[in-house]
Structure 1
Amino acid sequence: MDVSSQKRLAAKILKVGISRVRVKNTKEVAEAITRSDIKRLIEKGYIYVVQKKGTTRIHANIIRKQKKKGRRRGAGSKKGSISSKWTEKVRPLRRMLKELKEENKIDKKNYRKLYLMVKGGFFRNKGHLLYYLKEQGILKGKRMK
């Protein structure tokens, strides 16, 4: 029995695609002609809609659990070149040093020394740089953020 026209009508009524419409009793559905007939069959349950297939999150969840354990951190998982990572780390440190020099919180001699230390990768981040400045007593006055 061809129920393609009934499926098309049902799809319009249910506001879904034709491929999502399913039919249980084809004989009764084939007899339906009008929209009201189709609506009656939908109420009876002879015509119904299949749920959309979504994207599974199971693989993403597994990976997240592994990362939480510290896995997936090998050389093959690293994104970006070593030089690009170095650049990302160095730029804010140099910007901070420049600000400190312009605010006269550090002198030229210390600025040059610290600049070279930043270049050499001595400081992990801006917090580490500030900690070093306070420990060594290089910072003049208070640093306001």
Structure 2
Amino acid sequence: MVVNLKAKKRLVARVTGVGVNRVRLDADHLDDVADAITRQNIRSLITAKKITIKPIVGTSKGRSQMKKAQKHKRGTTQGSKKGRKGARVGKKDVYVAKVRSLRRLLKIAKDRKDLTNPEFWALYKKVGGNTVRNKAHLRLLMEEIIAKRS
């Protein structure tokens, strides 16, 4: 006897929280599935392995990750670079990285009580205004301030 089990599949999908296409009914026990009308009946059929849920089959990312790694690796050696330095790493990115590292250094100095609050802010403004060239220059300025204080 051929029974339309579309409604049963929908009920199983609702009970298990999966899509209808992942519900698989055992061909040998279709009459048991047709008799099941309550959610409890459905759950008992699932535990009895008369109704199974197909596993999720996703797309593997392994190959794409490998290709991405190859792409990132290529063209990074000295003779392969085209365009000036600013074309590969923008001026703003360089500036942001520099300012963040200098501000981190300033904060550490302030937390250690090497700098007073007004001294800290004077140097902080110099860092933000791009007056300080690098960490060594900042350390030099800090030493000058500390020497002037004492």
- Superposition TM-score, scaled by structure 1 size: 0.50
TM-score by length of 2: 0.48
- More helix per residue: 1 or 2? 2
